[in-house]
Amino acid sequence: MSANRISPNGPPKVGVYICHCGINIAGKVNIAETVEFAGKLPFVTVAREYKFMCSDPGQDLIQQDIRDGKVNRVVVASCSPLMHEGTFRRAMSKADGNPFLFQMANIREHVSWVTSAKEPATVKAKALIAAAVRRVTLHQPLERKSVPVKPDVLIVGGGISGIQAALTLADSGKKVFLVEREPTIGGHMAKFDKTFPTLDCAACILTPKMSSVRAHPNITLWTYSEVIGVEGYVGNFKVKVKRKPRYVIEELCVGCLECIEACIYKKGRVDDEFNVGLSKRKPIYIPFPQATPLVAIIDKESCLEFKHNRCKKFCVDSCERKAIDLNQKEEIKEIDVGAIILATGFKTFDAKRISRYGYRKYPNVYSSLEIERMVNASGPTGGEVKLKDGNAPKAVGIVHCVGSRDNKTNRYCSRVCCMYSLKLAHLIKERTGAEVYNFYIDMRTPGKGYEEFYERLLEENVHFIRGRVAEVTDWAMTPQEEGRLIIRAEDTLVGTVRRIPVDMVVLSVGLEAQPDADDVRRLFNISCSAEGWFLERHPKLAPVSTFTEGVFLAGACQGPKDIPDCVAQAGAAAAEAMALIDRGHVELEPNTAFIVEELCSGCKTCIAMCPYSAISFVTEKKTAAINGALCKGCGTCVAACPSGALQQNLFTDEQIFDEIKGVLTYV
Amino acid sequence: MSDDRSNQTFEPRIVAFFCNWCTYTAADLAGTARMQYAPNVRVLRIMCSGRLDPQFVLAAFREGADGVLIGGCHPGDCHYQEGNYKALRRTILLKRLLGDLGIEEGRFRLEWIAASEGDKVQRTINEITETVRQLGPLRLEPKAESRFGTAVLEEAETASLVEEERL
């Protein structure tokens, strides 16, 4: 017997507890046979089964056996350790057992749910249980290290989700750093005119929140800034933020617009990003009247002075407050935060990708985001819906599911398009009196007041045609179609192909992950789904947590969402961050590496292996030493150590070798 | 093949080492989504594929595994920055060693599987099971088997030492 099998509480007495999980496990794994098998494994003193091990009576079984001295190590064969490891470790602690003399065998996610036949499922379950039993006999009692949590929070993204999370946290007294990469906060919501289904004005409900962010003593707002580095761990993140130069001193600028007036360009020359290219702006500009902060910015790419160094710089002279600083440099800020909330939002689908809908080919085919700007009173047309020739359209077609529910682009439903299409249909009809045709696959209106809004539109005599649009064309087949855009679609309710001539087409584009979502997730060490949405820890029960402790999600960066859902999720993320910070400390997993000095030959192999520089060389002793506070427990150094002097708690060589033996020896 | 277990009925036993953050999570996802796959792969969890000591692979073959599968995060996605790259470097060398021992290439596989790729877990497990089934049971020469404990392991250690020195 290995010396390590004798621990302070005597030789191993392993209790094996096999969970039925209702029929989730018991429906596939022969429980009686498995219990009998487990009972015969070495060091096993107790083998039991129970319908739901995670329930209180299930946990009581374990605790009673520990208290009775029948077992001092525990194997629970049930679901994934990622699910209930914490539950059972806590149960052991309550019975004064060391929570690390514990191992789980995953016989649900890895066995009963993925295996078709009963017999092989039972064999596999037995093998995993045997592996866990062998390994747990070598476990050592361990202590968790408690470290204090930094009290501040970083929020990345200043759309409605980031704004809501920031205000919630700031109101509770937490210091918040809100980082936004655009020159203003507000995100997509700031671009909308009205919001469904209540038709309240987006600006009226958003801008008070934006100014609260600006004015809040607990919020540090960094716009035109990006997070460029994240180090550390839950409760103790070190974050680097790059503040890009806007060439206007934020503290001095009052947003008077004099400089913009004075610019040598008398008219806008550059596509205005805020109006999605429907208007032009000058090189010095303020994105929109309610921009927050209301501070001008110079676009280096189009500014004459930056391009040719020969501008008369009227802007500089026009500013009485001397706020324009053409020599401004980027600044790197370093902050310490305890929690991070990602609220980086989405981008709209690029309608050019579906060429048969004629976007950018026919001038009067618009994306829904362009129409949002067009119907907005502060937008490029002052709220008028008009064609390129300046006339109002007499008929408008709205094409749903552009870049959603489509095997060629995105398979998922973007959730918001049906509702915003209804809203746009209403607004277009209200502004122009045009006939409006909605082409839909299914109307999806789940939400408070949503179905009622759909019914209202039906009563407003908006037309609904059920069928995916085949194409938008200008190829007229009748004199009435001449000079117009024709939408061709199968009307699946009537069972015929229809050609509807219209003057304007609105493509209801879906939502996609941000193009740089992959870089962002790497920066924050989280995962993405296949579509690029940030992956939540659990789709139902941990929807705002990630697999990286201390990093939370809010809003559409996690998946398509409408404004009410974004706001709700932002509140949830803020609450999670608050819970972490108010707890004041975090307990770290003890699965860190340690060194057996007498075995260390001082070869220094491990030092270069460590990504966290946690290993140093002690010259006097000629051995390596590990800084436990820096070690994150990956075990890379352990695998590299040629003399076996490095070991990892909970993953020692001995434990893993025994686990391998266990998984192969008995069945 | 003169083995008493004919290829028709031969059910290979394959040991997998999956990293906690990507591939183990993906296997959980495959479970939650009830994706059915071959029952032949038995998964052990390590925190990072970088923890994979080549000796674990040799030990698995020694203890009777017919195949070994390693799963880690995609390049650039490692939870610990670069453990998967280290795993990759180690396995390149290990593969050569396995070849020298007469262990066919198809018996050992390293695959990058992200937390969202439950379907890739299903596919990979089905593929390696089929490949190993075709190869038949692993039969190490008794001599080679006895060498495992001493000479070969030392060889592996030296090899990994040389590799680390190079980094």
**Closest residue, chain B, to A105 (C-alpha):** B44
A378 DSSP assignment? T
**Contact (Cβ atoms closer than 8 angstroms) between residue A142 and residue A100:** yes
Mark yes or no for CB contact B60/A664 under 8 Å. Answer: yes
Of A662 and A4, more confident: A662
How far CA B16 is from CA of A304, A388, A589, B41, in Å, comes to 61, 62, 24, 6
pLDDT above 60: residue A266: yes
pLDDT above 70: residue A115: yes
Taken in order of first residue, the domains within chain A and their CATH numbers are 3-143 (3.40.50), 145-244+330-345+514-586 (3.50.50.60), 258-318 (no CATH), 349-512 (3.50.50.60), 593-648 (3.30.70.20)
pLDDT above 80: residue A145: yes
- Pick the residue of B10, B57, B58, B81 with the most A CBs within 10 A to test the interface with A by mutation: B81
SS3 category, A106: strand
Identity of the residue numbered A382: G
Of B59, B65, B114, the CB nearest to A657: B59
Of B46, B63, B83, the CB nearest to A651: B46
Distance from chain centroid for Cα A606: 34
Q: Which of A291, A223, A309 is nearest to A254 (CA)?
A: A291
Of A249-253, A409-413, A525-529, B113-117, the least confident: A525-529
**Closest residue, chain B, to A121 (C-alpha):** B39
Mark yes or no for CB contact B11/A611 under 8 Å. Answer: no
pLDDT of residue A103: 98
Q: Convert the pLDDT of each residue in A158-202 to its tens digit.
A: 999 999 999 999 999 999 999 999 999 999 999 999 999 999 999
Of A108, A113, A529, the CB nearest to B116: A529
- The span from the CA of A603 to the CA of A302, in Å, is 57
- Pick the residue of B23, B24, B46, B51 with the most A CBs within 10 A to test the interface with A by mutation: B51
pLDDT of residue B163: 57
Mark yes or no for CB contact A634/B52 under 8 Å. Answer: no
Report ipTM (2 d.p.): 0.85
pLDDT of residue B40: 97
Which two structure tokens, joined as six digits, stand for A277?
Answer: 């290219």
- The span from the CA of A17 to the CA of A534, in Å, is 35
Burial of residue A620 (number of CB atoms within 10 Å: 0-12, 13-18, 19+): exposed
Mark yes or no for CB contact B50/A665 under 8 Å. Answer: no
pLDDT of residue A411: 95
Q: Convert the pLDDT of each residue in B23-36 to its tens digit.
A: 999 999 999 999 99
Instruction: Provide the chain B residues 115-134 that lie in CB contact (below 8 A) with chain A.
Output: 115-117, 122
Of A116, A522, A528, the CB nearest to B116: A528
Q: Is B37 on the interface with A (CB under 8 A)?
A: yes
**Beta carbon pairs, A and B, within 8 Å:** 161
